[in-house]
Structure formats: C-alpha cells, structure tokens
Chain A
Amino acid sequence: AQSVTQLDSHVSVSEGTPVLLRCNYSSSYSPSLFWYVQHPNKGLQLLLKYTSAATLVKGINGFEAEFKKSETSFHLTKPSAHMSDAAEYFCVVSPMNRDDKIIFGKGTRLHILP
C-alpha cells in the first residue's frame, strides 16, 4: 500500500529565507514522486518530479527536492523565498503498479512574511 504524509499543514517563512516543506512516503515499490503547487484561485501546476533518475530534482521557480530512500522522504526546498511562492503545495506518490492510484498528501500552505 502507498501513502504520503506532509508533516506540516502550514509553514511561515520570511521573504528571502530558505523554505523547507516536508514529505514522507510509504511504498512497496520504488515510486515516482511529485510536488504540485496551487496558487490561490488557480489550478494545480506540476513543480517537479522524481522518477528513479537523479535523486536531486530541480523544478520550476527555483524549487528542488531530494529523494532519500533511507529516510523515505522527498522534502521540497528553496534557498530564498519570494512573496509569489505563497501557495498550497502537495506531495504526491505515484506507484509503479499502474493499477494503484496516485495518492496526494493533504497539502502544506506556505505563507511568506514580508
């Protein structure tokens, strides 16, 4: 069975400081992992994805995530937050078995303080 846990429902950081959004997963197989972003009143947008290639994945808008199998984690980071990063972020696990559904985390709302 697959599962994904986003450890923080809300994260607040000051503009210009680093961002860390935590995600842990559980999977019987080596999954594909994704981060999606949803800005207020906007649709969901793919931020980045991991598919068993390089463990450090770079995405759009300066975000990156590192797949750590030993820790079953896929945390999202950005060196310096910008006001436009304020949004909801979702960690997603996509199992290798295509009959298993893709699973969304409950989301982390990122607040950027001026």
Chain B
Amino acid sequence: GAGVSQSPSNKVTEKGKDVELRCDPISGHTALYWYRQSLGQGLEFLIYFQGNSAPDKSGLPSDRFSAERTGGSVSTLTIQRTQQEDSAVYLCASSPPGREGREQFFGPGTRLTVL
C-alpha cells in the first residue's frame, strides 16, 4: 500500500516568507508526528497528533511554527516569517493504533532552504 507522502520534496524560499508543508499519512494511522532534521543532526521533535486528542506541541521552536491535522488525516506544518535557521529537512511520520509495536513510518521529507 501507499506509504507516507510529503510535499513538496524541496522548497526554496526567501527569508520572511511563509511556507506550508504537507503530509499525507498512511490510511488508518491515528498518530502523526513532525520532526526537523538539520544538516548532520538528529531528529528534533516538533509536534504530535494522536486521534482526536489535543496535539502535543511541546517541540515547536517558536510561535512562527504551527500545524494542523484535518479530519484526522492530512497534516500541514506552517512556518511564518521564515528565517535562515529554519533551513532543514522536515520529516513526517505516522503510526498505527494499538498498544504494542507502534513503529513509525516515515515520509521522504521536505527539504526547506531559506535564502
């Protein structure tokens, strides 16, 4: 079946512009995560959606970052007034419901470059 998809795959923008990154999780997956990975660094957790629960936004680095998940499926990560330090690969992952073995399935990522 189809995996997690993300769009665009690459985004180049100018400092100060807003960007929207999209994630389509695997159908039926209730949990959705956004991560950021800067060059040569590990994964930085941004936000977590689980079903209809309030999202865990504890990883968002500033109020310029926001995310929503419509209808429990597609998610959009929005970065307002982009800064050069926002340049990174933004990864989305989803995981199925259930108590055990909730592995994450990752999308290919969106590479964001802020000039």
Chain A residues at the B interface, C-beta cutoff of 8 Å: 32, 34, 43-44, 46, 49, 51-52, 88, 90, 92, 94, 96, 98-99, 101-107
| Chain A residues closer than 8 Å to B12, beta-carbon distance | none
Residues facing A in B24-65 (CB within 8 A) are: 31, 33, 35, 42-43, 45, 48, 50, 53, 56
> Which chain B residue shows the least CB distance to A6?
B42
- Known A99-B53, A102-B95: A90·B43 in contact at CB below 8 Å: yes
- Which of under 10, 10 to 19, 20 to 34, or 35 or more describes the interface residues of B? 20 to 34
> Which chain B residue shows the least CB distance to A97?
B99
Min CB distance B33 to A, Å, is: 7
Per-position binary interface string of chain B over residues 75-115, scored 1 when its CB falls under 8 Å from any chain A CB and 0 otherwise: 00000000000000001010101111111101111000000
What is the CA–CA distance of A46 and B106 in the complex, to the nearest angstrom? Answer: 9
Chain B residues at the A interface, C-beta cutoff of 8 Å: 31, 33, 35, 42-43, 45, 48, 50, 53, 56, 91, 93, 95, 97-104, 106-109
| Chain B residues closer than 8 Å to A44, beta-carbon distance | 91, 93, 104, 106
Set B45, B107, B108: member contacting A104, Cβ < 8 A: B45
- Known A44-B106, A94-B103, A107-B42: A101·B48 in contact at CB below 8 Å: yes
Q: Is the CB of A98 within 8 A of B42?
A: no
> Which chain B residue shows the least CB distance to A107?
B42
| Chain A residues closer than 8 Å to B33, beta-carbon distance | 101-102
What is the CA–CA distance of A47 and B18 in the complex, to the nearest angstrom? Answer: 36
8 A-B pairs in the complex with CB atoms less than 8 angstroms apart = A43-B107, A90-B42, A94-B103, A98-B31, A98-B97, A98-B98, A101-B33, A106-B42
| Chain A residues closer than 8 Å to B102, beta-carbon distance | 32, 94, 98, 102
Min CB distance B47 to A, Å, is: 10
| Chain B residues closer than 8 Å to A106, beta-carbon distance | 42
| Chain B residues closer than 8 Å to A32, beta-carbon distance | 100-103
Min CB distance B70 to A, Å, is: 20
Q: Is the CB of B43 within 8 A of A94?
A: no
Taking A101-B50, A101-B56 as known contacts, 10 extra A-B pairs with beta carbons closer than 8 A to each other, sorted by chain A number, are A32-B101, A32-B103, A34-B104, A51-B101, A94-B103, A102-B95, A102-B102, A104-B42, A104-B43, A107-B43
